[in-house]
Amino acid sequence: MSKMLQVKNPATGELVQEVRINTEEEILETLKKGDAAFKDWSKVNAHERSRLLKKWANHIQEHKAEIAKVMTMESGKPINESLGEVDYATSYIDWYAEEAKRIYGRTIPANTESKRIVVTRQPVGLVAAITPWNFPAAMMTRKAAPALAAGCSFIVKPAEDTPLTTIRLVEIAHEAGIPEDVVQCVNGYGSEIGELFTNSDYVRKITFTGSTPVGKHLIKNSADTVKHVSMELGGHAPLIIAEDADLHFAVQQTMSSKFRNAGQTCICANRVLVHENVAKEFSDRLVEEVAKLKVGDGLDKQTQVGPVINERGFEKVVSQIDDATKKGAEVLCGNQFDGNREAGYFFIYPTVLGNVSEDMKMMQEETFGPVVPITTFKDIGEAVQIANSTPYGLAAYFFTNDYRTGSYLHENLDFGIVGWNDGAPSAAHAPFGGMKESGLGREGGIEGIEPYLETKYLSVGGL
């Protein structure tokens, strides 16, 4: 009897669909096929690869409503956000369909008349991707599109909670004409499939989006076969409000950073640091807006904040709020829950906490929920010190209209992505990725295809 993944809607607990877990033999066979497919796909000319990627993007757009609905049902994400994510996912394919044609080499002047030096780029080989549940479409295409554009073959293992969106994207890739063994999907548990990926000699690159502990494990396990690795790991973004900030605008941007996908993004504001002279006004304005947010089933078009993904996610956020309030945080709004383990739904009402201090768990650990902890600072140097005080370095935000304050913050924040008066910096054409324990490598932009390419240096002598 086959083992199945039960994909359930976290807004209702209802079973959406069962997905068969692939056996070890099947996964090993998939890896073998992926390696064989690489030999052909890497020889397909760049313009043809580009054409097929564009076709994939167009087919995804034709199925936009259907994909978004599946995404909302398996992840709980509000339908408007799921529709937006389908566009966001498509934008990576569009971008890399163009980049496929721009994988340039170079020549280097030799130090003797008898030699010529030529540098070319070639695809690394079969890529194995492990993708997260919070952006089941965009995190897949952000890896698949540059891999395919570079000439790599690709295998994806989607998150156990949200495999359906990815399965559909892979089917659509095949419908668009990308050969079946060039893009494959396998299903099962991350720990088991991760081992098969890292142990395989066929896999030349592992790309992962997920937690820092799992990322570290994959890096260690990739060492024996010296695989390329790209890691987009956890974050703990500070959002700094300087004394001169436009508070109306800063509140709007804080809302869009924090409550996107119910706060379940690696780059969302995890700590809000406000200058003490404007803290009261900022908090009052924020609470007024947060109290208006509509929480509910993502399939309802009015919903702005859906459930969190599962019981584990729910318990983590509840325990962080509990820890903070026990240590003296003040509940400014929220701190209400509607979670039912038996029924299988998990809602956390948007919560704002004041009087937060650095000893609270949520100031050190990623929250992944709709909670805004607010703390204050006296001067911008102190804000930087607090902001940089975790092992994470993915995204940071600040709000100021003073160019000296802005330049100082930009230069001193140890984060890979910095939003200056911008709470929504992600874009297919820009390099996304973290410093410190938030990751290795960049996804998106011209940087995002580099990790799928090897450099080959040819030295021609005897001329």
Tell whether residue 134 is a contact of ligand SIN (CB under 6 A): yes
Tell whether residue 267 is a contact of ligand SIN (CB under 6 A): yes
- Segment interacting with ligand SIN, rule: CB under 6 A, options 216-224, 239-247, 262-270, 447-455: 262-270
Write the CB contacts of 355 (distance below 8 Å, at least 6 apart in sequence): 328, 329, 330, 374
Please identify which of the residues 74, 85, 99, 266 carries the catalytic annotation.
266
CB of 179 to ligand SIN, least distance (A): 28
* Cβ proximity to ligand SIN, 197 vs 432, nearer residue: 432
* Cβ proximity to ligand SIN, 135 vs 452, nearer residue: 135
Torsion of CA 83, 269, 235, 266, to 10 degrees: -10
Q: Which of 234, 232, 258, 230 is nearest to 419 (CA)?
A: 258
* Cβ proximity to ligand SIN, 7 vs 268, nearer residue: 268
Answer yes or no: are the C-beta atoms of 75 and 368 closer than 8 Å.
no
Query: Segment 184-213, which members bind ligand SIN (CB under 6 A)?
Result: none
Rounded to whole angstroms, the Cα distance separating 406 from 419 reads: 10
CA 14 from centre of chain: 26
CB of 265 to ligand SIN, least distance (A): 4
Tell whether residue 41 is a contact of ligand SIN (CB under 6 A): no
- Segment interacting with ligand SIN, rule: CB under 6 A, options 171-179, 197-205, 212-220, 259-267: 259-267
Q: Which residues of 287-308 are buried (b: 16+ CB within 10 A; e: fewer)?
A: bebbeebebebbbeeebbbbbb
Q: Which residue bears the tokens 């605008």?
A: 249
**Please, what is the end-to-end C-alpha distance for the chain in angstroms?**
66
CB of 188 to ligand SIN, least distance (A): 22
* The binder of ligand SIN chosen from 41, 95, 135, 397 (CB under 6 A): 135
Please identify which of the residues 232, 366, 437, 443 carries the catalytic annotation.
232
DSSP code per residue over 96-152: HHHHGGG---EEE--SSTT-EEEEEEEE--EEEEE--SSSTTHHHHHHHHHHHHHT-
- Segment interacting with ligand SIN, rule: CB under 6 A, options 2-10, 12-20, 192-200, 263-271: 263-271
| Number of shown-chain residues binding ligand SIN (CB under 6 A) | 8
Specify the 3-state DSSP secondary structure of 21: coil
Rounded to whole angstroms, the Cα distance separating 142 from 123 reads: 16
Rounded to whole angstroms, the Cα distance separating 211 from 64 reads: 29
Answer yes or no: are the C-beta atoms of 310 and 347 closer than 8 Å.
no
CB of 84 to ligand SIN, least distance (A): 10
* The binder of ligand SIN chosen from 82, 91, 426, 438 (CB under 6 A): 426
- Segment interacting with ligand SIN, rule: CB under 6 A, options 68-76, 130-138, 177-185, 311-319: 130-138
Tell whether residue 266 is a contact of ligand SIN (CB under 6 A): yes
* Cβ proximity to ligand SIN, 200 vs 426, nearer residue: 426
Q: Is 268 among the residues known to form the active site?
A: no
Tell whether residue 141 is a contact of ligand SIN (CB under 6 A): no
* Cβ proximity to ligand SIN, 234 vs 307, nearer residue: 234
CB of 249 to ligand SIN, least distance (A): 20
- Segment interacting with ligand SIN, rule: CB under 6 A, options 182-190, 241-249, 261-269, 339-347: 261-269
- Segment interacting with ligand SIN, rule: CB under 6 A, options 44-52, 65-73, 98-106, 264-272: 264-272
Tell whether residue 265 is a contact of ligand SIN (CB under 6 A): yes
Q: Determine the residue with CB nearest ligand SIN.
A: 426
| E-only strand ranges, 305-460 | 330-333, 337-340, 345-348, 351-354, 371-377, 392-393, 395-399, 417-420, 435-436, 439-440, 453-460
Q: Are strands 154-157 and 183-185 parallel, antiparallel or unpaired?
A: parallel
Percentages helix, strand, coil for the chain (3-state, rounded to 5) are 40, 25, 35
CB of 132 to ligand SIN, least distance (A): 7
Q: Is 266 among the residues known to form the active site?
A: yes
* Cβ proximity to ligand SIN, 207 vs 426, nearer residue: 426
Rounded to whole angstroms, the Cα distance separating 138 from 119 reads: 32
Write the CB contacts of 422 (distance below 8 Å, at least 6 apart in sequence): 253, 397
* Cβ proximity to ligand SIN, 392 vs 399, nearer residue: 392
* Cβ proximity to ligand SIN, 267 vs 453, nearer residue: 267
Write the CB contacts of 31 (distance below 8 Å, at least 6 apart in sequence): 126, 128, 155, 196, 197, 200, 202, 203
Tell whether residue 233 is a contact of ligand SIN (CB under 6 A): no
CB of 280 to ligand SIN, least distance (A): 30
Q: Which residues of 214-238 are buried (b: 16+ CB within 10 A; e: fewer)?
A: bbebbbebbeeeebbbbbbbbbbbb
* Cβ proximity to ligand SIN, 8 vs 236, nearer residue: 236
Instruction: Provide the binding-site residues for ligand SIN, judged by CB under 6 A.
Output: 134-135, 138, 265-267, 426, 432
Q: Which residues are catalytic?
A: 232, 266
